[in-house]
Amino acid sequence: MWVRGAAIRPVPRYAQVDAETLELIERELANDSPESQGELDSAFVRFESTQPHLADAISQVLSKPLDDTALALGYFLSIAVWLAFERTFGDARLRKVSEDALEATEQAIKLEEELRAAHGDEPFDLDDVVSIEQPSVLAFVHEHVDAALDPALHAGSESEPGDDAGDQDVDVEDVHGVYRAIVLLTLCLSHAVLPVDGATRGSRELIA
State the total domains in the chain: 1
pLDDT in tens, 90-124: 999 999 999 999 999 999 999 988 887 777 666 46
At residue 37, does pLDDT exceed 60?
yes
Report the C-alpha gap between 138 and 51 in whole angstroms.
21
Average pLDDT, the chain: 84
117 inside domain: yes
Question: What are 41-80's pLDDT values in tens digits?
Answer: 899 999 999 999 999 999 999 999 999 999 999 999 999 9
pLDDT tens per residue, range 120-146 = 666 467 788 889 999 999 999 999 999
Q: Return the pLDDT at 113.
A: 86
CA 104-110-112 angle, to 5 degrees, is 100
Percentage of residues of the chain with pLDDT beyond 90: 61
The answer, yes or no, to whether residue 200 has pLDDT greater than 90, is no
Q: Give a yes or no: residue 1 inside a domain.
A: no
**Residue 186 domain-assigned (yes or no):** yes
Q: Give the Cα separation of 19 and 139 in Å (integer).
A: 9
Residue 6 belongs to some domain of the structure: no
Q: By residue range, what is the domain housing residue 130?
A: 13-153+167-207
pLDDT at 158: 45
Beta-carbon contacts of 54 under 8 Å, excluding residues fewer than 6 positions away, are 47, 82, 97, 102, 185, 188, 189
Report the alpha-carbon angle 105-82-129, nearest 5. Answer: 45
Domain membership of residue 119 (yes or no) is yes
In this structure, is residue 5 part of a structural domain?
no
What's the confidence (pLDDT) of residue 117?
Answer: 78
pLDDT, position 5:
59
Strand partners, 96: none
How does residue 85 score in pLDDT terms, banded at 50, 70 and 90? very high
The DSSP line for 14-59 is: GGPPPHHHHHHHHHHHH--SHHHHHHHHHHHHHHHHH-HHHHHHHH
- Model confidence band, residue 12 (pLDDT cutoffs 50, 70, 90): very high
Region 32-43: what's the mean pLDDT? Answer: 84
Task: Say if 203 falls within a structural domain.
Answer: yes
Residue 8 lies in a domain: no
pTM of the predicted model as reported, rounded to 2 decimal places: 0.83
